[in-house]
Amino acid sequence: MLEIKNLHATVGGKPILKGLDLSIAAGEIHAIMGPNGAGKSTLGNVIAGRDGYEVTAGEVLYQGKNLLELEPEERACEGVFLAFQYPVEIPGVNNTYFLRAALNAQRKYRDQPELDSMQFLKLVREKLEILHISDDLLHRAVNEGFSGGEKKRNEIFQMAVLEPSLAILDETDSGLDIDALRLVAEGVNRLRSADRSMIVVTHYQRLLDYIIPDAVHVLSDGKIVASGDAQLALKLEDQGYSWLEDGGIEAVAG
């Protein structure tokens, strides 16, 4: 599904990713953890195609395609979805209008018929129900005046409607209280499926109490320095990230 090989990337000329390798199979959830500044968010932004992130070496293959050659919207149309760490407020653009335009742009790309507003509304109501989100979200401008929790839930809602095959959740847990965190995690779990892979980027282990990953990777100084199963996250929780510097990689099981 996703093959990242020897990825090097710079931001503003500064090397951030320094030879990252990652392989994710269809239907798997991989957690990326690591200290601040390790390059976690950079990874998501490089995959999504944000400006200002320059790939200097390596490749990102997604369903056999070279993702790095595609424009951000083409990546989205290929099924890549980035849930933003800081979702952008867009005054004046109605959430429903925006989401329908996005879905139809993706459907058009895939040679599927576009949905009219009735069909779209039906779809959207189903998704809202699954995620237990109130439909007043539909009438508001994109993220405008949303609380932190509402913004993150709106990201998950968009993901539910767009049905990506690869979703990257960039610190979706940051700034959420425990109730909001649980709601977001429940939403994510409902969207787990055999043909949808996810990368869950997080600084803290607590999100992984709710979203149980198939694999956990520790990112440090632009590389994956340790990989393991869900137990690795618990170890990190217990010991923090300082052991990385003590050359404790060998100590990690799995």
Partner 1 sequence: MTQIASHPLIEQWAEDFRSQPDLPGPEWLQQLRQSAAAEFISAGLPGRKTEAWKYTPLRILEQRAPAMSRKLTGDHSESDFPAPVISAEIPTIDGLNGCLPEQLPATPAGLELLTLEKGLVTCKEQFEKLIPAIETSGASRVFAALNTAFLQQGLVIRVGVNCDAGTLLLRWAFNEDGAKAIGNARIVILLEQGARLELVEQFDSVGDVAGTLNLVTQAELAEGSCLVHTRVMKESDEAVILTSTAVEQAAESSYQYSGFDLGGGLVRHEFSSRLAGPGASAGFDGAFVLDRKRHVDNHISVDHASAGCSSSQFFRGVLGGKSRGVFNGKALIRPGADGSSVRQSNANLLLSGLAEVDTKPELEIYADEVEASHGATVGQLDEEAVFYLRSRGLSDPMARRLLTAAFCHAVTDRLANRELAEQLSALVDSAMPKSMIGQETQE
Give the binding-site size for partner 1 (rule: CB under 8 A).
Answer: 30
Nearer residue to partner 1 within complex by CB, 161 or 230: 161
**x/- track of binding to partner 1 for residues 22-61 (CB under 8 A):** --------------------------xxxx----------
**Closest to 157 measured CA to CA, from 122, 191, 115, 182:** 191
Among the candidate windows 102-110, 111-119, 127-135, 146-154, which touches partner 1 by CB under 8 A? 102-110
Stretch that binds partner 1, among 80-88, 123-131, 174-182, 245-253 (CB under 8 A): 80-88
Is 125 in a helix, a strand, or coil? helix
User: In angstroms, what is the minimal distance from the CB of 189 to partner 1?
Assistant: 22
In the block, which residue shows the tokens 């404790």?
248
For partner 1, the closer of residues 57 and 90 by Cβ is 90
243 touches partner 1 by CB under 8 A: no
CB of 230 to partner 1, least distance (A): 29
Residue 124: how many other CB atoms lie within 10 Å: 23
| Choice from 25, 57, 93, 253 touching partner 1 (CB under 8 A) | 93
* Residue 238 CB-half CA count within 13 A: 6
Q: Spell out a b/e string for 9-20, using b for 16 or more CB atoms within 10 Å of the CB, else e.
A: bbbeeeebbbeb
Instruction: Name residues contacting partner 1, limited to 106-125 (CB under 8 A).
Output: 106, 109
- Go through 64-96 and write b for each residue having 16 or more CB atoms within 10 A of its CB, e for each that does not: eeebbebeeeebbbbbbbbbbbebeeeeeebbb
Distance between CA atoms of 195 and 52, rounded to whole angstroms? 31
Q: Does 198 bind partner 1 (CB under 8 A)?
A: no
Structure tokens at 7: 């990825």
Beta carbon nearer to partner 1, 75 or 235: 75
Query: Site mask, partner 1, residues 145-174, x = CB under 8 A?
Result: -------------x---x------------
**Helix spans in the chain (H):** 40-48, 72-77, 95-109, 117-131, 148-162, 178-190, 207-210, 230-239, 242-245
Minimum distance between the CB of residue 77 and partner 1, rounded to whole angstroms?
Answer: 5
Identified binder of partner 1 from the candidate list 76, 188, 200, 233, rule CB under 8 A? 76
- Non-local (6+) Cβ contacts of 181 within 8 A are 173, 206, 207, 210
Residues that bind partner 1 (CB under 8 A): 48-51, 71-73, 75-77, 81-82, 84, 87-88, 90-93, 98-99, 101-103, 105-106, 109, 141, 158, 162
